[in-house]
Structures are given as structure tokens and as C-alpha cells.
Amino acid sequence: MWTSGLYVISAEKLHPHRSLLSVMEASLKGGATAIQLRDKESGKQALIEKARALQQLAQRYQVPFIMNDHLDVALAVNADGVHVGQGDFPLTEARKLLGKNKVIGISTHTKEEAIEAEQQGADYIGAGPVFGTSSKDDTEKEIGVDGLKEIVGHVSIPTVAIGGIKLNNTANVAATGVSGIAVISEIVMSDHIEDTCSRFTEILTETRERDV
Ligand SMILES: Cc1ncc(COP(=O)(O)OP(=O)(O)O)c(N)n1
Ligand SMILES: Cc1nc(C(=O)O)sc1CCOP(=O)(O)O
Ligand SMILES: [Mg+2]
């Protein structure tokens, strides 16, 4: 299942000297199991062009491409899914427009939000921020590994941990029983993206093998 791995989220402004496509392709070469376009700056036309290019790239690597926030862009490029936040397009309305075969993920910060997300038919939840992050301005309070563990224990759909996830804390995050992890800065700002992604994947696998 793609949610059981490394979900890489874009942040073009963090790598001004490398293109969006080269960064995301390096992530895929390193083993990313899903990619998301997260872009708070571009207008709709540019978003559609970037999303279309990433959808085609993801298809070549046979992983899902998820569009953040913009359901209309997801529909325009036939993305594999959309990720919405608590204040974004309502999940139940998104499902009516996207149908049951597309992926819908939603951000959650508490066990109550996670339970509601599952009841409303989310395919996965993003749970965070686990740790402090500088990649998003308006985050909720850090939930820590204990908060993450609590969320994981209350839902059966896959939980993807997000927020401040680095190589040096991934083993602790993975030990909570999360399905996978979503990462921005540690990957897109890396000088060796492919190797960094491979290392994330190794740590996830090692932790799972140790904990069975
Ligand atoms: C996998 C994943 N989890 C959480 C988020 C955050 O979504 P949201 O709360 O809507 O915040 P923005 O990313 O839109 O600023 C995410 N994008 N992906
Ligand atoms: C996009 C996003 N959403 C979060 C949430 O808690 O919902 S934290 C976050 C930023 C994650 O970036 P980094 O891996 O650089 O910390
Ligand atoms: Mg959002």
C-alpha cells in the first residue's frame, strides 16, 4: 500500500536552484511511494501545468499523485487524489465530486478529528505536526509521538505522520505504528535527494521488521 512508505510533498521555494520536476523525480528514484503538489503561490493555470507534469511523472513511477487543497486542479488533470485540511473543501463534498476510486486524505490533529475523518470516508489521514516545522506557517500545536500514537490507536485507515520528520527521528515516529511518513524540507533541501529518500525508506523498513 502506497501509504505505508515515504510520501514526498513539494515546496518549490525551498529549492530555488532546482526545478520542481527534478526534485520530485529524484524523490521517486529514491523510493517515494507518493508525491503531492503543495503550492501556495501559483495561480490556477500554473498549478494545472505543474500538476499535469507531476501526474505524468508519478504515473511513470506507478505511484499516486495527490493535489493539495485544489479540488478543481485535481479534477482538471485527473490526479489520483486530493489532500484537504480541516478548513479546506469539505471531505464529504470532495467525495461526491471525485467518486470512490480517487484518494482523499485529510489533515487531523486530534483523535476526534481522526475518528470523524474515518467516519466521513477518508482514505488516509495526515496526522501532525508531530514536531516543529518551518515549512508551514499556520500549524496547530505539536502533537509529539504520544499524540501520534493516540491518533493511530483510534482509526483503522492509514495514518501518515507529518511535521518536522527528519532522518534522525523517523525510527521513533515509525515505532508509533503509523502507516507512513510525509516529508518536505529534509528531502527537498537535501543535496542528495535520492540517497536521503532511500535512507528514510530503510529506516521505515528496519523499524517495522524490528517491531513485528
Ligand atoms: C499528507 C499531508 N498531511 C497534512 C497536510 C496539511 O494540509 P493542510 O492542513 O490543509 O495544510 P496545507 O498543507 O494546505 O497548508 C498535507 N498537505 N499533506
Ligand atoms: C504541510 C504540513 N502540514 C502539517 C500538518 O501538521 O498538518 S506540518 C506540514 C509541513 C511539513 O514539512 P516538514 O517536513 O518540512 O516539516
Ligand atoms: Mg490545505
pLDDT tens digits, one per residue of 29-83: 999 999 999 999 999 999 999 999 999 999 999 999 999 999 999 999 999 999 9
Q: pLDDT band for position 210 (50/70/90)?
A: confident
Task: Report CA(131)–ligand 1 centroid distance (Å).
Answer: 14
Domain ranges of the chain: 6-211
d(CA 75, CA 43): 16
Question: CA-to-CA distance for 149 and 23, rounded, in angstroms?
Answer: 31
pLDDT digits (tens, 9 = 90+) for 150-183: 999 999 999 999 999 999 999 999 999 999 999 9
Whole-structure pTM value: 0.98
Atom of ligand 1 nearest to the CA of 138: 15
Query: Is the ipTM here above 0.90?
Result: yes
CATH of span 6-211 = 3.20.20.70
Pocket test for ligand 1, best of 10, 63, 68, 91 (most atoms within 8 A of CB): 68
The answer to whether 20 and 195 are in contact (CB under 8 A) is no
Provide the annotated active-site residues: 38, 107, 136
